[in-house]
Amino acid sequence: MVLEVAEIKVTPGKEDAFKEAYRTARELVKVSPGLRSMRMTQGVESPGRFVLLIEWDSVEAHEQGFRETDRFGKWREAIGPFFAAPPFVEHVADVD
């Protein structure tokens, strides 16, 4: 299992619109094979900072099962207009 961590900075004043777009677009991700769980968090002190946390079976499940599909383009089309900067995305794994 790997955890995808995406830090997303949203244009000030667009936070509510971003959350609404996410609520609709997340269904595009949730149907991906290999997805275990998905949640979005919002900064309390920094409300324009969001962190998306997705558990995948593997990096390949994320890359091939979602990023290389047309659903990824639709996902970015829905939430991308609210980005203040490109998201920082990486995969991390648990330390035993």
CATH number of the domain encompassing residue 66? 3.30.70.100
d(CA 83, CA 2): 25
Which structural domain range is residue 17 located in? 2-92
pTM score, whole prediction: 0.94
pLDDT tens-digit map of 69-95: 999 999 999 999 999 999 999 999 999
Contact yes or no for 71/29 (Cβ under 8 A): yes
The candidate with the shortest Cα–Cα distance to 43, out of 12, 70, 3, is 12
**What pLDDT, on a 0 to 100 scale, did the predictor assign at position 81?**
98
**What pLDDT, on a 0 to 100 scale, did the predictor assign at position 91?**
98
What ranges in 1-96 are assigned the alpha helix state H? 15-30, 59-62, 70-79
| Mean pLDDT computed over 32-50 | 98
d(CA 81, CA 74): 12
- Domain total in the chain: 1
User: Which residues are CB-neighbours of 9 under 8 A, at least 6 positions away?
Assistant: 48, 49, 50, 83, 84, 85, 87
